[in-house]
Chain A
Amino acid sequence: MIRIEGLNKRFGDHQVLTDINLHVEQGDIFGIVGHSGAGKTTLLHCLNGLESYEEGSVKVMGQEVRDLDDKGIKLLRRNMGMIFQHFSLMNRKNVWKNVAFPMEIWHMPKNQIRERVDELLELVGLPEKSHERVGNLSGGQKQRVGIARALALNPRILLCDEATSALDPRTTISILELLDDINKKLGLTIVLITHQMEVIKMICNKTVLLDQGVIAASGETEAQFLSPSPALQRLVQDEYAFIPDGVNIRLKFPRHIAKDAIITRMATDLGINFSIVGGRLERYRDHVLGYLIINVKSQDFQIVTDYLRNNELFWETVQDEQHPS
C-alpha cells in the first residue's frame, strides 16, 4: 500500500528525515510514534504530497508521489482521507455541510452526496447532530465529524495526524475504537502519527519509532513492547524506584502466559523468595500483555534466569537510573 525507501528530507540546512524505510500493507493500522519535532508530521505529509522530498522513494498505491502532476496529486488525495489534531473543520458550515464538502469539491451529484453524508454520520454515531453548528460540538464529536469527512470520498488509506492528542483519555479511547472499527469494517489502511504510547498500544499492529528524523525501531507492535529497544525504553520511562540490592528483573508476559500463575509457581518450584517491585497489565489491541519487575538476591540470579528461559518468558535486567549498581 505504502512503501518508503531511503527517504531524506531537509528544510534548508536542517535534516528532518534521514534514510526512512517502511512498508505499510493493506489493512494495517500503522503507528508512527515519537516526540514532537521528531519529524512525524513531515513524514505523514510526504505521503499525500503536502510536503516534497529530495531523496528516496515514496510509493503510495504503486505511484511515486514526487512524479505526480497537479491532477495526479489531487486523485491521490482523493484516495487518502486525513484527520487532524485540531479537527480543522469549517466553522461556518454545519456538521452536514462539512462532511459533504469534499464531495462538492469533486462535483458529485447532489442526491449521491445526500445519501453518503447520512450514511457517514450514522457510521460515526452523530446522525442527530447533522444540522448542529461545528462550534457547539465537543472535541470528540468534532473528531467524529472529521472522520466522516475524511471517509467521504471512499479513500483506501486514512492518515491521522495526532488525531487524539487534543482529547481527554476517555474520548481518545472512543475515537480509537471507532478507527479500529472502521479498519475492520471497511478494510481501510490507517497510518497514524502520535506521541501517545497508549494510542499505539491500543490499535496499531505495526509501529515505527521515530527519533530525531531517524527510525529507531520498527516492527510488530507486540514484539516491540515485549523486547523494547533502548529508544523505546527512553520513550516509555519506568516510574518505579528500584530496590538497590540484588538484581532487578523485568518479566514480560506474552498473551498465552499472561493468564497463568507463573510467578507464584516459580517461587514454589525454586523454593526462593523475591520481592515484587512493580508491574502492569496492559491492553494491546485485542489482548492483554503484562510485565512485572521482581528483585532477586544476587546468588539466586542464575537459577531464576534459567527457570525463565526454560519457560520461554521474555526477561531483562533493569537498573535504577538514579542509583546505578
Chain B
Amino acid sequence: MSNIQADLHALYDIMVTRIPGPTLETLYMVAVSTLLSLVLGMILAMVMVLTGPKGLRPIAPLYVVLDITVNVLRSFPFIILIIAIIPFTRWVVGTSIGSTATIVPLTIAAAPFVARIMEASLLEVDSGVVEAAKSFGAGNFQIITQVMLKEAMPAIVLNVAVVAINLVGYSAMAGAVGGGGLGDLAIMYGYNRYEMDTMLAAIIVLVLMVQGIQMLGNFFYRILK
C-alpha cells in the first residue's frame, strides 16, 4: 500500500471511531445553547429597544444597567467565564462537568451577543413604519412583535447563523470542563499529542458544520426576503 492510501485509511478509521461521538456532543451543545441564548437574548433585545434612548418608552436607568451588563458579559474571555460561573452552573444543572453543564456558560456568553445584534436589527427597521403603526393605535408590545420583529426577520435569521457559528467556536473550549465535542478532540489529540490525523478529521467536520449552518441561514434568508 502506498503512503497516501495508508494515510487515507488511517483518516477513515478515525472518522469512524473517534469522530461520531464528539460530533454529536458539539451538535447538542451548539443547538441547545443557540436556542436558549436566542430566547434570552431576544427578550433582552426587546427590553433594550423598548427602553433605549430612542425607544418606544425610554427608561434611561434600566437601559443603562442592561447596556453595561451586556458589555461586561461580552468582555469576559470565554474560558474564564466557564470557570467563573461554575457555582451557578452546578446550581442550574446539578453538575459542572459534561456537555450539558457546558451549555450554561455557552448560553450566558452568547445571550448578550444575541441581545446586541438583535437590538441592532430591530433598530434597523424603518422608523416610518413604526410611526405608521403608532398612528393607527398599535401598542408598544404589538409594535415590537408584529412590526419590528416581522420586518427584521430576514436579518434576524442571518444573525442566528452568526450566533450558531460563534457557538461552534466557543464549544471548542468545553473540553476544559469535560464537555467534549470536536474542538476538544482537536485540542486533545492534535495539540497535546501531536496526532495530526485526528486533528485534521475534527477540523474537516467543523468546517463542514460551519458551512452547513451558513448555508442554512442564507437559504432561510432568501425565502424570507
Query: Which of the residues B126, B137, B139, B224 comes within 8 Å of A88, measured between beta carbons?
Result: B126
User: Top 5 A-B pairs ranked by shortest CB distance?
Assistant: A88-B128, A82-B135, A88-B132, A102-B136, A77-B137
B135, B137, B151, most chain A CB atoms within 10 A: B135
**A77-B136, A78-B137, A105-B137 as given contacts; A92 in contact with B129, CB under 8 Å:** no
What's the Cα separation between A50 and B133 when bound, in Å?
A: 11
The distance from the CB of A92 to the nearest CB of chain B, in whole angstroms, is: 6
Chain B residues with CB below 8 A from A70, complex form: 139
Interface status of A106 (Cβ within 8 A of chain B): yes
Task: Classify the secondary structure of B's interface with A.
Answer: helix
Interface status of B90 (Cβ within 8 A of chain A): no
User: Chain B contact residues (Cβ within 8 angstroms of A): what range?
Assistant: 20 to 34
Chain A residues with CB below 8 A from B133, complex form: 101, 105
What are 15 sample pairs from A and B whose C-beta atoms fall under 8 A apart? A50-B131, A70-B139, A74-B139, A77-B137, A86-B128, A88-B126, A88-B128, A88-B132, A92-B151, A92-B153, A92-B154, A101-B146, A105-B142, A106-B137, A149-B132
Please tell me if the beta carbons of B139 and A90 are within 8 angstroms of each other in the complex.
Answer: no
Interface status of A150 (Cβ within 8 A of chain B): yes
Chain A residues with CB below 8 A from B139, complex form: 70, 74
Chain B residues with CB below 8 A from A92, complex form: 150-151, 153-154, 224
Please tell me if the beta carbons of B136 and A153 are within 8 angstroms of each other in the complex.
Answer: yes
**A90-B129, A105-B142 as given contacts; A77 in contact with B134, CB under 8 Å:** yes
Please tell me if the beta carbons of B131 and A84 are within 8 angstroms of each other in the complex.
Answer: yes
Interface status of A152 (Cβ within 8 A of chain B): yes
Interface status of A179 (Cβ within 8 A of chain B): no
What's the Cα separation between A91 and B125 when bound, in Å?
A: 10
What's the Cα separation between A84 and B136 when bound, in Å?
A: 13
What's the Cα separation between A102 and B139 when bound, in Å?
A: 11
Chain A residues with CB below 8 A from B224, complex form: 92
Interface status of B138 (Cβ within 8 A of chain A): yes
What's the Cα separation between A87 and B126 when bound, in Å?
A: 11
Q: Give B139-159 interface residues, CB cut-off 8 Å to A.
A: 139, 142, 146-147, 150-151, 153-154
**A77-B137, A106-B137 as given contacts; A82 in contact with B153, CB under 8 Å:** no
Please tell me if the beta carbons of A50 and B135 are within 8 angstroms of each other in the complex.
Answer: yes
**A105-B146, A150-B136 as given contacts; A88 in contact with B153, CB under 8 Å:** no
What's the Cα separation between A82 and B150 when bound, in Å?
A: 21
Please tell me if the beta carbons of B137 and A89 are within 8 angstroms of each other in the complex.
Answer: no
What's the Cα separation between A104 and B142 when bound, in Å?
A: 10
What's the Cα separation between A104 and B136 when bound, in Å?
A: 11
Interface status of A48 (Cβ within 8 A of chain B): yes
Chain A residues with CB below 8 A from B126, complex form: 86, 88
**A74-B139, A105-B142 as given contacts; A90 in contact with B134, CB under 8 Å:** no
What's the Cα separation between A89 and B132 when bound, in Å?
A: 8
A79 and chain B: residue at smallest CB distance: B137
Query: Which of the residues A50, A93, A106 comes within 8 Å of B134, measured between beta carbons?
Result: A50
What's the Cα separation between A311 and B119 when bound, in Å?
A: 69
Chain A residues with CB below 8 A from B128, complex form: 84, 86-88
Q: A38-67 toward B: CB 8 Å interface, digit per residue (1/0)?
A: 000000000010100000000000000000
Q: A104-138 toward B: CB 8 Å interface, digit per residue (1/0)?
A: 11100000000000000000000000000000000
What's the Cα separation between A81 and B139 when bound, in Å?
A: 16
Interface status of A80 (Cβ within 8 A of chain B): yes
Chain B residues with CB below 8 A from A78, complex form: 136-137
The distance from the CB of A108 to the nearest CB of chain B, in whole angstroms, is: 12
Chain A residues with CB below 8 A from B151, complex form: 90-92
**A91-B151, A105-B142 as given contacts; A149 in contact with B129, CB under 8 Å:** no
Chain B residues with CB below 8 A from A82, complex form: 132, 135-136
What's the Cα separation between A153 and B139 when bound, in Å?
A: 16
**A78-B137, A91-B151, A102-B137 as given contacts; A84 in contact with B146, CB under 8 Å:** no
Please tell me if the beta carbons of A81 and B136 are within 8 angstroms of each other in the complex.
Answer: yes
**In the complex, given contacts A75-B137, A153-B137, what are 19 additional A-B residue pairs having Cβ atoms less than 8 angstroms apart?**
A50-B134, A73-B137, A74-B139, A80-B135, A82-B132, A86-B128, A89-B132, A90-B129, A90-B147, A90-B150, A90-B151, A92-B150, A101-B133, A102-B136, A105-B136, A105-B137, A149-B132, A150-B136, A153-B136
